[in-house]
């Protein structure tokens, strides 16, 4: 399935009354779910100081739902114009959401400029939704997390080319 | 039976729990701080999630992180091990609220036994012998002096929220009372945020003998006999053994019965240990109850051929116990190997283990999480291995323990192995004549 086709499918599901759709073929499996609760408690969390690209992300817990190919345009290889790229890592363990609610757009996409203090995603734990803010100002060059998927402490979420 | 258990702990006990889960066909989730990324329990579990930075408060003691880890991995139970949150009523309650089975005591049981003054009163009501003293907390120096004269000096003032030997003062006469009262209050207030004190008769040169019990969800309780933990340095156990060198069948019956009575009175569920002080007349007094699995549980396992972790899991899953009591068929002893320098005041010695050889052979068991090339983090306690030795007689156990200690090679860090070897050669230790005061006069030089 092409990324655009997947996007169309998800838009279709979003506009429908369906809460959850699972599709499985020989080649792939896709699962889309609308959040039942839309209450978002704003708990501001600051990121740890950014680290120059170093270790690969730690072992991640197995997920029940696996989504294959991502919706946004495939990430180009991170641009390195003589500047080191920085990582935004998760400051906590929980479930990550790329948008404030299923019918709203993502907080950030590849190519977006981000400011220090700007919310880049939400990580939910124990029913509390924590807004994760960027500690870096720059441009998102790669997205390493997926919507509604589990993330652990220190997991790399976004790659940013600093301003 | 549980499908997946999350182990809210680290080190050797995390590995211990993972091993039993494997044998029971239960999937395991390990949690780790960034300092424990290379730890063995992370590698052996079916899944592993990073829950925070090295500081315990932000990782292993962080309840939201642990619950989030259980949620994202769909664990249906949490085993808290020992230490950390294993006796935290708040954590037990949160697990309850989130529908995750806490493999340990309920919040009510933890609270009943966690506060020392309350625990003592509860046990006394159940008919368990307790150390004579104040009925609950002391209101004033005047009240204290009155009770001290009734029960006879020496007495000890103890912090109700205390542990690890802090907030305690021995008093030998009326003239010492007020100063001891003020000192103990100040120390316990600072250490535990609670300066309430109670009074007890000071049992001189006691032996510390504890009884292992298991209670199921239906009110049945059994015991698995005693462990003698009198070899302590600053109230930290270094060596434990079973049976106790001074135990008789009659005393074991009485202590076992008392322990069961006490556990039944609070409808205790899970594995637990009731600690007693035994004086030179063979009279025993309730000291405290630990509502969790203990570090030294392997020696009981070796002499009764019983898997205590498995029993904890079974009881938590609602399986009833038989009600049978278990008695030691052999002798077993455990030496706690710490990454500390016994020749220099037991100063902690973290670092990289460059060379490792574990002892083996008949009757030798090592519970450890270390491996050659492993770096011991400085953020957690210094125990790196437990050497457990079993044989038919106590004499054979001591000979075998010394042999095993001499084979135990750990290079790159200092360990307490030399101290244990010297202890095995000590005539008083070999004779089985020691109390909790024994190590106070031990010669730690030439190690």
Domains of chain A in sequence order: 36-162 (2.40.50.100)
CATH number where B176 lies: 3.30.1490.20
Domain end position, chosen among B181, B201, B221? B201
Cβ neighbours around B242 below 10 Å, total: 28
Orientation of helix B89-97 relative to helix B63-73, angle to 10°: 30
A50 touches chain B (CB under 8 A): no
Q: Which residues pair with B237 in a beta bridge?
A: B232
Considering only CA atoms, which of A126, A56, A159, A142 is closest in space to residue B50? A56
Contacts of A97 in chain B (CB under 8 A): none
pLDDT band at A53, cuts 50/70/90?
very low
How many contacts, defined by CB atoms under 8 Å, are there between A and B?
Answer: 66
The rounded mean pLDDT for chain B is 95
Query: pLDDT tens across B267-315, in order?
Result: 999 999 999 999 988 899 999 999 999 999 999 999 999 999 999 999 9
Task: Look up the CATH number of the domain holding residue B34.
Answer: 3.40.50.20
Is B3's Cβ below 8 Å from some Cβ in A? no
8 Å CB contact between B244 and B207: yes
Highest mean pLDDT (candidates A117-121, B150-154, B202-206): A117-121
Q: How confident is the model at residue B400 (pLDDT cuts 50, 70, 90)?
A: very high
Catalytic residue among B227, B252, B292, B365: B292
Residues of A in contact with B47 (CB under 8 A): 59, 61-62
- Report the pLDDT value the prediction gives residue B73, as an integer from 0 to 100: 97
Q: Please give the average per-residue pLDDT across B381-398, as a whole number.
A: 97
- Establish whether the linkage from the previous residue to B243 is cis, with ω within 30° of 0: yes
Using DSSP bridges, classify how beta strands A29-33 and A20-24 pair: parallel, antiparallel or unpaired. Answer: antiparallel
Q: Lowest-pLDDT range, A15-19, B51-55, B184-188?
A: A15-19
* CB contact (8 A) between residue B49 and residue A61: yes
Using a CB-CB cut-off of 8 Å, the residues of chain B touching A94 are 68, 71-72
Domain count, chain B: 3
Residue B349 domain-assigned (yes or no): yes
Let me know: does B31 contact B45? Beta carbons within 8 Å.
no
Cα angle B394-B396-B402, degrees, rounded to a multiple of 5: 105
pLDDT computed for residue A42 by the predictor: 34
* B215 and B177 belong to one structural domain: no
Question: B181 and B85, same structural domain?
Answer: no
Query: Is the same domain home to B182 and B215?
Result: no
Report chain A's mean pLDDT, rounded to a whole number: 72
Q: Are residues B58 and B172 in the same domain?
A: no
- From CA B269, how far away is CA B321, in angstroms rounded? 11
Grade residue B190 by pLDDT with cuts at 50, 70 and 90.
confident
Please give the pLDDT value at position A141: 96
Q: Which residues pair with B33 in a beta bridge?
A: B52
For residues A151 and A123, the answer to whether their CB atoms sit within 8 Å is yes
Same structural domain for residues B211 and B232? Answer: yes
Q: How confident is the model at residue A40 (pLDDT cuts 50, 70, 90)?
A: very low
Residue A51 sits at the chain B interface (C-beta within 8 Å) = no
**Is B292 known to be catalytic?**
yes
Q: Are residues B235 and B363 in the same domain?
A: yes
- Is B278 in the same domain as B166? no
Interface of A with B in 53-72 (CB under 8 A): 58-62, 64
Instruction: Give pTM, 2 decimals.
Output: 0.80
Whole-angstrom distance between the N-terminal and C-terminal Cα of chain B?
A: 49
Looking at B201, B220, B236, the residue that finishes a domain is: B201
**Rounded to 5°, angle at Cα A29 from A93 and B30:** 30
Contact B221, B263 (CB under 8 A): yes
Residue A37 vs residue B209, higher pLDDT: B209
Predicted pLDDT of residue B193: 83
Please check whether residues B321 and B228 belong to one and the same domain: yes
User: Rounded CA gap, A29 and A31, in Å?
Assistant: 7
**Of B144, B168, B201, which marks where a domain is finished?**
B201
Mean pLDDT of B156-176: 86
Does some domain include residue B165?
A: yes
Establish if B307 belongs to a structural domain: yes
* Whether B240 and B140 share a structural domain: no
Q: How far apart are CA A84 and CA A43, in angstroms?
A: 31
Contact at 8 Å (CB) between B438 and B429?
Answer: yes
How many Å apart are CA B77 and CA B79, to the nearest integer? 7
Alpha carbon distance, N-terminus to C-terminus of chain A: 35
pLDDT class of B164 with cuts at 50, 70, 90: low
How large is the average pLDDT for residues A123-132?
A: 91
At A79 the pLDDT is 46
Tell me what pLDDT residue A59 has: 31
| Rounded Cα distance, B443 and B394, in Å | 23
CA-wise closest residue to B236 among B165, B321, B187, B342: B165
* pLDDT tens-digit series, residues B54-112: 999 999 999 999 999 999 999 999 999 999 999 999 999 999 999 999 999 999 999 99
ipTM of the complex: 0.74
A86 forms beta bridges with A52, A160
Report whether pLDDT(A91) > 60. yes
Q: Which residue has better confidence, A66 or B194?
A: B194
B20 vs chain A: nearest CA distance in angstroms? 21
Q: Is residue B116 part of a domain?
A: no
Mean pLDDT of B19-27: 98
Same structural domain for residues B276 and B407? yes
The predicted structure's pLDDT at residue A36: 46
Residues B382 and B315 in one domain: yes
B264 vs B82, B114, B219, B275, B290, CA distance in Å?
Answer: 22, 17, 7, 16, 15
At residue A47, the pLDDT reads 37
Residue B355 sits in the same domain as residue B294: yes
pLDDT of the residue at B169: 92
d(CA B94, CA A126): 10
Q: Which domain, by its residues, includes B71?
A: 4-103
- Which is higher by pLDDT, B114 or B36? B36
CB-based contact (8 Å) between B9 and chain A? Answer: no
pLDDT higher at B171 or A7: B171
The mean pLDDT of B164-188, rounded to a whole number, is: 90
Report whether pLDDT(A37) > 60: no
- Residue B76 is assigned to a structural domain of this protein: yes
**Does a structural domain hold residue B332?**
yes
Own/partner pairs, A2-5, CB within 8 angstroms, 24+ separation: A3/A69, A3/A70, A3/A71, A3/A72, A3/A73, A3/A74
- Write the CB contacts of B43 (distance below 8 Å, at least 6 apart in sequence): none
Cross-chain Cβ contact A93/B65 below 8 Å: yes
Does B48 contact chain A (CB < 8 Å)?
Answer: yes
Flag whether B111 is in a domain.
no
Min distance B176 CA to chain A CA atoms (Å): 52
CA distance A20 to B36: 38
Is it the case that residue A38 has pLDDT exceeding 90? no
**Winning range, highest mean pLDDT, from A108-122, B116-130, B132-146:** A108-122
Cα dihedral value A44, B93, B294, B54, nearest 10: 0
Q: Check which CATH number belongs to the domain holding B342 and give it.
A: 3.30.470.20
Closest Cα in chain A, distance from residue B48 (Å)? 6
Of B270, B384, B352, the residue nearest B319 (C-alpha): B270
Q: What percent of chain B has pLDDT over 70?
A: 99
pLDDT (0 to 100) of residue A75: 36
Q: Is A146 on the interface with B (CB under 8 A)?
A: no
Structural contact between residues B54 and B37, judged by C-beta atoms closer than 8 angstroms = no
In a domain, B217, yes or no: yes
Within 10 Å of residue A71's Cβ, how many Cβ atoms?
17
């Amino acid at each position: 399935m092409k990324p655009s086709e997947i996007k169309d499918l998800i838009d279709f599901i979003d506009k429908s009354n369906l809460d959850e759709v699972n599709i499985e073929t020989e080649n792939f499996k896709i699962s889309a779910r609308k959040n039942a609760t839309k209450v978002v408690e704003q708990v501001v969390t600051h990121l740890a100081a950014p680290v120059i690209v170093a270790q690969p992300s730690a072992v991640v817990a197995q997920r029940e739902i696996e989504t294959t190919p991502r919706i946004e345009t495939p990430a180009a290889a991170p641009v390195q114009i003589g500047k080191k790229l920085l990582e935004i890592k998760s400051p906590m363990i929980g479930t990550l959401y790329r948008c404030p609610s299923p019918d709203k757009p993502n907080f950030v996409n590849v190519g977006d400029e981000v400011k220090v203090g700007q919310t880049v995603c939400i990580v939910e734990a124990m029913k509390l939704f924590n807004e994760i803010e960027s500690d870096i100002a720059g441009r998102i060059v790669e997205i390493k997390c997926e919507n509604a998927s589990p993330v652990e402490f220190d997991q790399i979420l976004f790659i940013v080319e600093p301003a | 039976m549980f499908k997946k258990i999350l182990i809210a702990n680290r080190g050797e006990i995390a590995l211990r729990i993972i091993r039993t889960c494997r044998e029971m066909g239960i999937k395991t989730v390990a949690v780790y701080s960034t300092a424990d990324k290379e730890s063995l329990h992370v590698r052996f579990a079916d899944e592993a999630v990073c829950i925070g930075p090295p500081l315990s408060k932000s990782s292993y003691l962080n309840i939201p992180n642990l619950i989030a880890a259980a949620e994202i991995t769909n664990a249906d139970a949490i085993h808290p091990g020992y230490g950390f949150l294993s006796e935290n009523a708040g954590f037990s309650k949160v697990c309850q609220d989130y529908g995750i089975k806490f493999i340990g005591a309920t919040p009510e049981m933890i609270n009943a036994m966690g506060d020392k003054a309350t625990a003592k009163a509860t046990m006394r009501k159940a008919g368990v012998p307790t150390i004579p003293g104040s009925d609950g907390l002391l209101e004033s120096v005047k009240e204290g002096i009155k009770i001290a004269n009734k029960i006879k000096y020496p007495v000890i003032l103890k912090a109700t929220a205390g542990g690890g030997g802090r907030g305690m003062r021995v008093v030998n006469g009326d003239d010492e009372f007020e100063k001891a009262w003020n000192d103990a209050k100040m120390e316990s207030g600072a250490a535990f945020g609670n300066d309430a004190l109670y009074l007890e008769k000071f049992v001189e040169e006691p032996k510390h003998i504890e009884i292992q019990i298991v209670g199921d969800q239906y009110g049945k309780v059994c015991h698995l006999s005693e462990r003698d933990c009198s070899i302590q340095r600053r109230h930290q156990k270094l060596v434990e053994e079973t049976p106790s060198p001074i135990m008789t069948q009659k005393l074991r019956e009485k202590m076992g019965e008392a322990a069961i009575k006490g556990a039944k009175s609070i409808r205790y569920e899970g594995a637990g240990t009731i600690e007693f002080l035994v004086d030179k007349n063979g009279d025993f007094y309730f000291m405290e109850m630990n509502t969790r699995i203990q570090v030294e549980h392997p020696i009981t396992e070796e002499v009764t051929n019983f898997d205590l972790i498995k029993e904890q899991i079974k009881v938590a899953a609602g399986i009833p116990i038989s009600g049978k009591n278990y008695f030691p068929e052999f002798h077993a002893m455990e030496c706690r190997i710490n990454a500390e320098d016994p020749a220099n005041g037991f100063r902690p010695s973290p670092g990289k283990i460059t060379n490792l050889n574990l002892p083996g052979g008949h009757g030798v068991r090592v519970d450890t999480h270390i491996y050659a090339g492993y770096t011991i983090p400085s953020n957690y306690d210094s125990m790196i291995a437990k050497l457990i030795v079993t044989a038919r007689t106590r004499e054979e156990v001591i000979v075998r323990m010394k042999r095993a200690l001499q084979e135990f090679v750990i290079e790159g860090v200092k360990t307490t192995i030399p101290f244990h070897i010297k202890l095995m050669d000590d005539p008083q230790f070999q004779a089985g004549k020691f109390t909790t005061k024994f190590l106070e006069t031990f010669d730690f030089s030439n190690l």
